Amino acid sequence: MMDNESLKTIFENLRATSAFVAILKHQGKISVPEELLTDLLNEQSWPNDFITNNGSAMCVTYDFNKKEFGFELMYEDDGYKPENAIGFQCTRGNLEVGFIDYNSPHYRK
């Protein structure tokens, strides 16, 4: 059974890419609509624009009964925190990567 210390260790070592790999390992394959990924070609002006505009934070949860981790795009500042949340993480993996200048004309549409 997972204890709080183990959950903390997993959460601290978890990054968006490792979460995605874990999800793919479990699901085998995921299909998404063409529109979802063509947004990367059509709207991206900075390296992290797509992430910034679509979910630069995820909430990680753990269900003790099902023994499952959950991942949801969500900001801690939204005011909603699931009861079983073990934390929030930046989906960019590193807060210092891809600094975004929100005063840039790219964001003044």
In this predicted model, what pLDDT tens digit does every residue of 44-94 receive, in sequence order? 666 666 777 777 788 999 999 999 999 998 888 878 889 999 998 887 655
Radius of gyration of the chain (CA): 16
Q: Assess if residue 70 is contained within a domain.
A: yes
Comparing CA positions, the residue from 102, 54, 93 lying closest to residue 75 is 54
Comparing CA positions, the residue from 109, 93, 94 lying closest to residue 43 is 109
Q: Assess if residue 79 is contained within a domain.
A: yes
- How many domains is the chain built from? 1
Q: Assess if residue 86 is contained within a domain.
A: yes
Say if residues 15 and 69 touch (Cβ distance below 8 Å): no
Residue 12, token pair as written in the block = 């601290």
Instruction: Give the pLDDT of residue 54.
Output: 73
Q: Assess if residue 37 is contained within a domain.
A: no
Q: Assess if residue 64 is contained within a domain.
A: yes
Q: Assess if residue 101 is contained within a domain.
A: yes
Domain span holding position 61:
4-27+55-107
